[in-house]
């Protein structure tokens, strides 16, 4: 047997060292004991029980290379897909109660950490938050709720059973409305995202939230025809005291300023201080009139040539015109002259009848000849009417596409003219009539000038 000549420190290399080697018997062969660099004896337990006693005040350290826990009720291990049983043994999973979710319990990223629970032991998840607390974009966590795309033949969920939400191919959640009988109904929404509501009877109550705008689109409205309804029957519905209607409002516009800015858009009516509605021909007294811009009101008359209807004293009546739409007028001067001549003739011994004088004077104001001429438009000076001593009056219509300068006399220019006629305008010689030459200067060669001479 070898004998040590010196001592060796713990951990010294065993090369050349002398001593007694402790061996064990495995039942067939002798085996050396395996000791770690820390001086700990390694034990391999294939079966049976190992009892380890810890001395008071010291740490017990055991390194297990592999552990087979077993699957019995008293073992820590449990077999997959085996039903649980009473008295099964396991290890309690512990978390940290964190009521306010504001305390940091896991300080370092990517390090092991604990999970949080509430007072009842419920686990807080990444999307958990306290009711009525702030949510921070980009840092607060969300919980993703998923559904199943099921458009053509949705699977019916069983009563009192949990199932997935149904979504469209665009990930939109389907919802249903329940009617009074318990049936589920779909909502009809237009392409403009407007909900269609069909009211067959009863009352629809719409509540508007404070500070919000209420918007309702009504596709069709049957207002009714009763006294309290907005609608009233056409022709058969007689006015009655207490009838309900809608007040038509307008804008007071004293100076007739622009209140409707855009053409073809809806616009408001204009009224004066007394509520009288202004029409397109409304103008202030002595205000500027702009041709082709200012509004006009067309005045009509009644054609009475053979048997004019007589209007009663102080009654209103339509103006009398000829079938050629010419207005009949009476000259107070001629009427007075005829009356005075008639009185003179009756008081004198003139050798002619009073009726002959009346006929002569009436002939001065009666037109017996009308000549209408169509003259092509020209951009040079032309003569519209030649001198005519028998002329009673004459009229000109500018039916061209340009302005026409008319002159009672010879040589019309853009600076020497009697009247400047816009497109489509009408001009009649003043009384007493001008019987001399009438010239005109046009600004276009498109269209015509319609000239009518009365003699």
Q: What pLDDT is recorded for position 449?
A: 95
> For residue 119, is it within any domain?
no
Name the more confident of 451 and 366.
451
Name the more confident of 198 and 376.
376
Helix (H, G, I), strand (E, B) or coil at 361: helix
- Residue 376 and residue 450 in one domain: yes
Q: Which of 315, 344, 363 is the last residue of a domain?
A: 363
Cα 169 versus chain centre, distance: 28
- 82-106 pLDDT, tens per residue? 888 888 888 888 888 988 776 788 8
Residue corresponding to tokens 């040590």: 4
**Residue 335: its H or E element:** helix 332-347
pLDDT band of 1, cuts 50, 70, 90: very low
Q: What pLDDT is recorded for position 89?
A: 85
- 201-226 pLDDT, tens per residue? 556 666 666 666 666 666 667 777 77
Structural domain containing residue 339: 332-363
- Residue 432 and residue 402 in one domain: yes
Tokens of 68: 């087979």
Name the more confident of 391 and 337.
391
- Residue 387 and residue 347 in one domain: no
The CATH number for 396's domain is: 2.60.120.770
Q: What pLDDT is recorded for position 363?
A: 54
- Phi and psi dihedrals of 426, rounded to 5? -125, 140
- 40-89 pLDDT, tens per residue? 777 766 666 667 676 666 666 666 666 778 888 888 788 888 888 888 88
CA neighbor of 128 nearest in space, from 109, 116, 141, 138: 141
- Residue 436 and residue 420 in one domain: yes
Distance CA 449, CA 455 (A): 20
> For residue 50, is it within any domain?
no
- Residue 428 and residue 445 in one domain: yes
> For residue 266, is it within any domain?
no
pLDDT band of 390, cuts 50, 70, 90: confident
- The whole model's pTM is what? 0.29
- Residue 389 and residue 447 in one domain: yes
> For residue 397, is it within any domain?
yes
- Residue 357 and residue 426 in one domain: no
> For residue 30, is it within any domain?
no
Helix (H, G, I), strand (E, B) or coil at 339: helix
Distance CA 27, CA 42 (A): 19
Beta-carbon count within 10 A of 163 CB: 10
Mean pLDDT for 323-328 is 78
Residue corresponding to tokens 């306290």: 130
- Residue 449 and residue 382 in one domain: yes
E-strand stretches of 200-356: 251-252, 270-271, 302-303, 320-321
Total tally of structural domains belonging to the chain: 2
CA neighbor of 449 nearest in space, from 381, 383, 401, 399: 399
Average pLDDT, the chain: 78
Q: Which of 317, 341, 363 is the last residue of a domain?
A: 363
- Residue 377 and residue 442 in one domain: yes
> For residue 35, is it within any domain?
no
Do 391 and 453 form a contact (C-beta atoms < 8 A)? yes
Residue 437 has pLDDT above 90, yes or no: yes
Q: What percent of the chain has pLDDT over 70?
A: 72
Distance CA 377, CA 384 (A): 11
> For residue 392, is it within any domain?
yes
- Residue 347 and residue 387 in one domain: no
> For residue 350, is it within any domain?
yes
Distance CA 87, CA 8 (A): 54
Helix (H, G, I), strand (E, B) or coil at 39: coil
- Residue 374 and residue 437 in one domain: yes
CA neighbor of 185 nearest in space, from 177, 196, 173: 177
**Residue 442: its H or E element:** strand 438-442
Instruction: Say whether the peptide bond before residue 432 is cis (omega within 30 degrees of 0).
Output: yes
Strand pairing partners for 167?
A: 149, 173
């Amino acid at each position: 047997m070898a004998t040590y000549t010196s001592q060796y420190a713990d951990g010294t290399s065993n090369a050349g060292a002398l001593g007694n080697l402790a061996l064990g018997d495995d039942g067939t062969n002798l085996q050396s004991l395996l000791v770690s660099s820390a001086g700990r004896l390694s034990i391999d337990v294939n079966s049976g029980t190992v009892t380890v006693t810890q001395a008071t005040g010291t740490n017990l350290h055991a390194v297990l290379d592999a552990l087979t826990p077993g699957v019995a009720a008293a073992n820590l291990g449990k077999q997959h897909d085996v039903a649980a049983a009473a008295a099964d043994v396991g290890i309690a999973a512990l978390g940290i109660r964190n009521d306010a979710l504001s305390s940091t319990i896991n300080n370092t990223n990517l390090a092991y950490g604990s999970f949080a629970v509430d007072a009842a032991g419920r686990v807080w998840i990444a999307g958990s938050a306290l009711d009525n607390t702030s949510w921070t974009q980009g840092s607060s966590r969300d919980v993703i709720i998923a559904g199943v795309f099921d458009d053509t033949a949705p699977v019916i969920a069983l009563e009192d059973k949990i199932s997935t939400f149904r979504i469209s191919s665009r990930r939109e959640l389907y919802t249903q409305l329940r009617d009074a009988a318990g049936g589920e109904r779909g909502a009809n929404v237009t392409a403009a995202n407007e909900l269609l509501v069909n009211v067959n009877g009863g009352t629809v109550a719409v509540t508007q939230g404070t500070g919000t705008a209420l918007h309702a689109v009504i596709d069709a409205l049957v207002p009714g025809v009763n006294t309290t309804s907005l609608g009233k029957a056409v022709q058969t519905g007689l006015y009655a005291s207490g009838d309900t209607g809608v007040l038509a409002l307008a804008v007071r516009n004293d100076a007739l300023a622009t209140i409707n800015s855009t053409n073809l858009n809806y616009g408001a009516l204009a009224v004066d201080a007394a509520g009288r509605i202004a029409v397109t021909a409304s103008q202030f007294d002595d205000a500027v009139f702009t041709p082709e811009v200012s509004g006009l009101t067309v005045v009509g008359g009644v054609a009475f040539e053979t048997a004019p209807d007589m209007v009663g004293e102080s009654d209103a009546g339509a103006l009398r015109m000829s079938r050629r739409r010419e207005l009949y007028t009476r000259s107070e001067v001629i009427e007075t002259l005829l009356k005075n001549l008639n009185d003179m003739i009756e008081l004198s011994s003139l050798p002619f009848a009073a009726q002959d004088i009346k006929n002569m004077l009436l002939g001065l104001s009666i037109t017996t000849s009308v000549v209408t001429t169509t003259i092509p438009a020209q951009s040079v000076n032309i003569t519209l009417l030649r001198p005519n001593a028998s002329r009673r009056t004459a009229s000109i219509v500018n039916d061209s596409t340009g302005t026409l300068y008319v002159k009672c006399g010879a040589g019309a220019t853009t600076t020497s003219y009697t009247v400047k006629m816009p497109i489509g305008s009408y001009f009649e010689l003043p009384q007493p009539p001008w019987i001399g030459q009438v010239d005109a200067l046009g600004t276009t060669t498109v269209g015509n000038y319609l000239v009518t001479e009365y003699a």
